[in-house]
Amino acid sequence: MTDHEHDGHQHDHDHAHPHGGVRGLLYDLVVPHTHDSADSIDDAMEASSAGVRALKISLFVLLGTTVLQAVLVAFTGSIALLADTTHNFADALTAVPLWVAFVLGRRVATRRLTYGYGRAEDLAGMFIVFVVALSAVVAGWQAIDRFVHPRPVEAPWLLVAAGLIGFAGNEVVAMYRIRVGQRIGSAALVADGVHARLDGFTSLSVVLGAVGVMVGFPLADPVIGLLISISILVLLWGTVKSIGARLMDAVDPALVERAEHALEHTDGVHGVHDLRLRWIGHRLTGSATVEVSTTDLQDATHVADQAAEHVRQAIGNLDAVTVTPTHSAVRS
């Protein structure tokens, strides 16, 4: 086996976009495409604190939005606005288990949970998916009931104001959660941000329902309420895949390439094998085997330690990486 030539080594970092067509366009509109933790926070405690802070702020913003909309529901009797308010309240509640998961993630590993409590974050992500789906079903049921038992919508102009309030509150929360979630590598926090963004679009749908009522089409309100429920379930699939991928230990190939590049460009390393990365909550852990030419155990260990340090520098939220040296002549 020949030595690895550093100067001639190249990596192709171009990645085909996984989403195409109209569905891909809609998905990109809701979930901005990014590599995992491209600008990650290095310190685990700082990352956890950033996540908790994002949840606290967004929780109070969404509760305030929900209260304002609930008052307007009482005045208008709009089923579309009721559906939107239900989504906003559900979104606010999903912050609670995720908050608990971030706090649990700070606990040290035990002899029973040797990897610690980071996976509680993924469980919270599953709960978020369940709550979003449940709220969509409830809103759809209410819309169908309004078709069977029609009820006039009062003061539709208030719906316009309520819809704009809901959109503004949700979009602010969505941008904040998604940005922080991407920075700290939390798929659950990004999913929670996507939930808020979906609710923001449903709020704009309430505005459309109000316009329909004002132009003499009263069924526009339950129609919009039903469309809201269907659209939530359709777009929720992208979040389900994201959480499912995390539970299956999937990582962005760009992270693997970055780790591989750092290992291969360490002096004394002539090859990389069995490179593995996995998420534990919003932090990474990994392992790899590197080929070294030296037969001296101390020198080989030094090369492996240097390689591990290079990987930690390349990937900020990598908490632990085990690099095992092996003599290249043995593998050739």
Q: How many C-beta atoms lie closer than 10 Å to residue 90's C-beta?
A: 22
Q: How many C-beta atoms lie closer than 10 Å to residue 267's C-beta?
A: 9
Tell me: the pLDDT tens digits for 56-71?
Answer: 888 888 888 888 888 8
Helices (H), 106-155: 120-148
Tell me: the pLDDT tens digits for 194-216?
Answer: 877 877 777 777 777 778 877 88
* Domain coordinates in residue numbering, the chain: 21-247, 253-331
Name the least confident of 15-19, 43-47, 163-167, 207-211.
Answer: 15-19
Decide if 290 contacts 275 (C-beta within 8 A). no
* Mean pLDDT across 185-196: 78
* Mean pLDDT across 36-43: 47
Report pLDDT for 198: 75
Report pLDDT for 311: 93
Report pLDDT for 34: 47
CATH for the 253-331 domain, from 3.30.70.1350, 3.40.50.300, 3.20.190.10, 1.10.3720.10: 3.30.70.1350
Report pLDDT for 36: 47
Angstrom distance (rounded) from CA 9 to CA 181: 33
Q: Which amino acid, one-letter code, is at 207?
A: V
pLDDT category of residue 43 using cuts at 50, 70 and 90: low
Report pLDDT for 152: 67
Report pLDDT for 44: 61
Report pLDDT for 106: 78
Tell me: the pLDDT tens digits for 303-330?
Answer: 999 999 999 888 877 888 999 999 765 4
Q: Which residues of 140-163 are buried (b: 16+ CB within 10 A; e: fewer)?
A: bebbeebeeeeeebeebebbbebb
Residue with tokens 């908050």: 99
- Taking alpha carbons only, the member of 172, 89, 164, 189 closest to residue 132 is 89
Between residues 22 and 151, which one has the greater pLDDT?
151
* Mean pLDDT across 82-105: 78
- Taking alpha carbons only, the member of 266, 279, 272 closest to residue 317 is 279
Report pLDDT for 252: 86
Q: Do domains 21-247 and 253-331 have the same CATH topology?
A: no
pLDDT category of residue 32 using cuts at 50, 70 and 90: low
Report the number of secondary-structure helices (H) and strands (E) in the chain: 10, 3
Q: Is the domain defined by 21-247 classed in CATH 3.30.565.10?
A: no
Angstrom distance (rounded) from CA 228 to CA 219: 14
Tell me: the pLDDT tens digits for 232-254?
Answer: 787 778 778 878 888 888 888 88
* Mean pLDDT across 165-176: 86
Q: How many residues comprise the chain?
A: 332
Report pLDDT for 139: 74
**Which of 84-98, 116-130, 284-298 tops mean pLDDT?**
284-298
Tokens encoding 198: 């979906």
- Strands 269-280 and 318-327 come out as unpaired
Residue 86 has pLDDT above 60, yes or no: yes
Between residues 35 and 212, which one has the greater pLDDT?
212
Residue 169 has pLDDT above 80, yes or no: yes
